[in-house]
Chain A
Amino acid sequence: MILEVDGVEFQYKSKEVLKNIKFELKRNEILSILGPNGVGKTTLLKCMNAILKPKRGTVLIEDEDVLKLEQIEIARRLGYVPQRCEPARLTAFDAILLGRMPHIKWNITTEDVMIVEDTIKKLSLEDMALRYIDEMSGGELQKIGIARAIAQNPKLLLLDEPTSSLDLKNQLEILDTVREVVRKENVSAIMTMHDLNLAFRYSDKFLFLKNGTIFAAGSMEDITPDIIREVYGVPVTIENYQDISVVIPV
């Protein structure tokens, strides 16, 4: 197991947001965290790398408790891609180079530059390497965000709604990129998702949250229309189209 989460609880002021969250993830797997708005998907993701401090519980990455590490040590193990990457007057290369920050002591080394170049090639971003990111589209910015997280050389990627506000083509491109990275780079990924069909298409494991706890978890064969109806309050059917599971509200 690359990740073992046990008994994670999070409280915002006096309101309990997450209760007794427990799950595991293997290497080279993609897990989607699913559930209605405000259920705590993003909160859970941020608890993984201690952007938010859980009240109790453990998050083990290769048997090491992340929550007991310094923030910079966590950044060496987990790459985080927020919902929105802010543009600045930086080239894509500079923006991706930022991913080396947790490893940089005073200045960048040739190795850092080479890692960034490799990342750019892996993600086929060569054409935009020296373009300024404040002139890029939402989809391109998202790719830069993912590239930055990969340049961090993490063991686990955390992506907060990576496809929100993207068009269909960009949604597929981004998730193809994530899947390719997970397969080739020997890492795992956790994404929070709203689109069930995209989640089914690209993830190996699923975690359904309801009222701050895990309502159901498992791989595709464990997911039933009843689970989705219970979680979202919408009756659905799950059909299979060319080996892809598709959720259709009925």
Chain B
Amino acid sequence: MKKAVKGEKMVKMLNKSTGNEGDISRQYKEHTSRKYTYILSGLVLLFVMLIFSISIGSVDIPPMEVVQTLTGHTVSVRWDSIIWNIRLPQVLTAIVAGAGLAVSGVVMQSILRNPLGSPFTLGISNAAAFGAAFAVMVLGTGSTHSTVGDAVVISNPYTTTVVAFAFALAVTAIILAFSRFRGVTPEVMILVGVAMGSLFSAGTMFLQYFADDVQLASMVFWTFGDVSRASWSELALITGITLCTVIYFLLERWKYNAIDAGDETAKGLGVNVEKVRLRGMMCASLVTAIIVAFLGVIGFVGLICPHMARRIIGDDHRFLIIGSMIMGSLLLLCADTAARVLIDPYQLPVAVLTSFLGAPTFIYLILGGRRI
């Protein structure tokens, strides 16, 4: 309420100071230019964090040397190797996966008109994880090893992704079917998601039961998501699909704004709501599936980051889509950096940290503080 009064005062004050035609448009442009500033600031922060994250770890590399190495100047062969082979792919994977999960969450929240929607809370992540595990264990699209670092090597990323996507789609179809029922509250939808999540976790456990020791150890791969696993080629595939999906989401940004205003308003504005919903959910599931297949389940990023971005930038998808992506990248990058240094020399899977962060936030959202 305070904000409303403040806004009113601001408008009145500005009206007084100028009083010319076009005042409202000018004020509006000032208002939107602030959002561009937020986005730009976010990008700068992300870049700083990227350098910082590359520079710290079991071997500390000064930030200036990181920048030099990244711009193609060899400072030390050892650092060169650490940065290009280990740290940079990991950091970029965190950025892309964070952005991908957050953008999936923001779109799901909009098209399902459910503030609790996200790939994880709707059970889509777990379904994709089961699909990927199924592909590797049963269809032989990858091999399993006992070493912790490379527990699972995916030899056929395309089939693995397709199978993960197929299972993610199955859950999406169920969620969409439920969303058509009148009077289904956001909480009920999440309960359906929990049921789906449990079902596919049980599926993964079923696979574990028949797995040998080596396979069993490697199953943990999908349970605790970790961004240090992706190779450059896997990162390229995740980035390619995330990028295409984001472009599609950006093209649809007005439609998501219209759906936020209610299905009927959207239809009255010429939006084919059912089509937008179906395609949006499919694209969001695809991004989720590819991230989960290669990195494992990373919970809550898709739920929290859109809400954090909404808090700063509002619900306008022209800014919210990019804002959520930056927030997702930042959060996952920070979490991954923390996971690397917290119990040095050991490295925690990043999903452990996001879950520590996400679980209380999720409960807070359920208890009614939808706008965190």
A residues neighboring B (CB under 8 Å): 46, 49, 51, 70-76, 78-82, 84-86, 88-91, 93-95, 98-99, 101-102, 104, 113-114, 116-117, 120-121, 126-132, 135-136, 145, 148-149, 152, 158, 160
Chain B hits for A132, CB < 8 A: 3-4, 7, 314
Given contacts A86-B261, A88-B260, 7 further A-B contacts (CB under 8 A): A82-B264, A82-B268, A101-B271, A113-B25, A129-B28, A130-B10, A160-B264
A126 to B10, alpha carbons, bound, how many Å? 12
Q: What CA separation (Å) do A246 and B260 show in the bound complex?
A: 39
Determine whether B185 belongs to the interface, using a CB cutoff of 8 Å to chain A. Answer: no
Contact B28 A127 (CB under 8 A): no
Q: How far is the CB of B307 from chain A (nearest CB, A)?
A: 11
- For residue B272, give the distance in angstroms from its CB to the closest CB of chain A: 6
Judging by beta carbons under 8 Å apart, are A89 and B262 in contact? Answer: no
Q: How many A-B residue pairs have CB under 8 A?
A: 130
Hey, what's the 0/1 contact readout for B11-31 against A, CB within 8 Å counting as 1? 110010000001011011101
- B270 on the interface (CB 8 Å rule)? yes
Docked complex Cα distance between A90 and B32 (Å): 11
Q: Mark B354-372, 1 if CB is under 8 A from A, else 0.
A: 0000000000000000010
B244-280 near A? 1/0 per residue, CB < 8 Å: 0000000000110110111011011111100000000
Is A130 a contact partner of B371 (Cβ separation < 8 A)?
no
**Given contacts A90-B315, A91-B31, is CB(A98)–CB(B254) below 8 Å?**
yes
Q: Check A149–B314 contact: CB distance below 8 A.
A: no
A90-B257 contact given A129-B24, A132-B4, CB 8 Å threshold:
yes
Contact of A93 among B4, B8, B24, B257 (CB under 8 A): B24
Q: Is the CB of B315 within 8 A of A89?
A: yes
User: For the complex, what is the distance from the CA of A99 to the CA of B269, rounded to whole Å?
Assistant: 7
CB-based contact A117/B25 at 8 Å: yes
Which residues of B from 263 to 318 have beta carbons under 8 Å from A? 264-265, 267-272, 310, 314-316
B184 at the interface (CB under 8 A from A): no
- Identify B8's interface contact among A94, A127, A152, CB under 8 A: A127
How far apart sit A71 and B262, CA to CA, in the bound complex (Å)? 16
A residues near B255, Cβ cutoff 8 Å: 101
Residue B1 CB within 8 A of the other chain: yes
Q: Decide: B262 and A86 in contact? CB cutoff 8 A.
A: yes
Known: A51-B267, A90-B315, A114-B25. A131 touches B262 (CB 8 A): no
**Neighbouring B residues of A46 by C-beta, 8 Å:** 264
Neighbour of B264 across the interface among A71, A80, A135, CB < 8 A = A80
Knowing A98-B258, A132-B7, the reply to whether A75 touches B24 (Cβ < 8 A) is: no
Report the separation of the CA atoms of residues A145 and B314 in the bound assembly, to the nearest whole angstrom.
Answer: 19
Contacts of B1 in A (CB 8 A): 135
Q: Are A131 and B4 in contact (CB under 8 A)?
A: yes
Chain B residues whose C-beta falls within 8 Å of the C-beta of A117 in the assembled complex: 22, 24-25, 28
Residues of B within 8 A of A98 (CB): 254, 257-258, 261, 265, 269
Assembled-state Cα–Cα distance A101/B315 (Å): 16
Q: Complex formed: what's the CA distance from A158 to B113 in Å?
A: 24
